[in-house]
Structure 1
Amino acid sequence: MDIAEQKLIYLSQGEKFPSKLKLLRSGKVITRNSRIAKYSPFIGPAGILSSTGRISRLVNSDFDSKHPIILDPCHAVVRLLVQHLHSRIFHQGLDYMRAVVNLNYVVLNLRWLLRNIENTCVVCRKRKAQTVTHMMADLPIERLGYKQPLFSYTGVDYFGPFLVPIRRSTEKRWGFLFTCLTTRAVHIEVVPRSTKALV
């Protein structure tokens, strides 16, 4: 996989930076008006165009971390590579994604490429989708008892039975729940027997 990645990067650089590679291979210096001149490019192992990093003296680090590979964002291979990193880090934000890419690569116009990938990613679009707030219906007149006594409009519920220990036996009890539809106040009454017996 590493060899295949190197070959693809080599081909992408040959298509996007042919004149720069020709100058460097002939021992000449890239002009200052070039868009990669600020990275002080040189040809590294396997003929890949790399940048001169500031941590070249760091011992416990690999070559790609010290000298990131220069890539063009308009190439299909570079886009696939960044998309793979984007899915591998579970669709994190732009800043984190930028830090991951910059570990081993220098991608020109990286922020534009990351925004483009995030805008076309189905998972990211679903995550950032705005939920629709439905229009609620008007409240019924029973819920709008303004300046009226409590329980002018009442909702009733009946629940149970519950086994209640009394002396050496257990008896069933039910509950009547009354709620005020305007203020949402609640009143509970204990019923000693079921409504069928009351009827």
Structure 2
Amino acid sequence: MGDNNPLQQSSDDPPPKLLPTNHSYTRLLMDEAHTEGGHGGRDTTLARFRHAYWTPQGTKLAKSVKTNCRLCKIRDPQLLTQEMGKLPKGRLTPALPFSQIVLDLFGPFLVRGEVQKCTTGKAWGVIFTDLASRAVHIEAVFDYDTSSFILALRRFTNMRGWPSVIHSDPGSQLTHAEKELKML
């Protein structure tokens, strides 16, 4: 039963030869094992090499051979990865809280009246986010127009101070508010 174990070394097989890791002959033998193995992966290369040889850090050497093989580079190309977009300067430089902000409107949400509980209406939120610390301030708006947004911006600036830079999406009420603020 124990005679046909494939992992057990038979008496006919010579023991593997110990080779130095950083020698050029060791690397050539690992290259040969990689080529004879059909340009397989790191484990396939190492297994073929260890039939007759042994070296400390063989896994690292097999990985190096696989990485530097020209045919493997052509056959297994590295795919391009997504590049991260450019960050605004306000995200990279320390600043006072809410001196550079990003804002956006979100919603609508159905809300009930405070006095008349049976009546419902729509409400939106304006989220003000600090670029440097990512702190958040939210104001409620009960109409989706320029004047309601300007009132929310006034409430924000009364509490947090006027920001030096404001980034926003090109929503119609936001662009109209920008025009009105520039006129003032």
Structure-2-length-normalised TM-score: 0.41
Larger-Rg structure: 1
Higher relative contact order (CA 8 A, sep 6+): 2
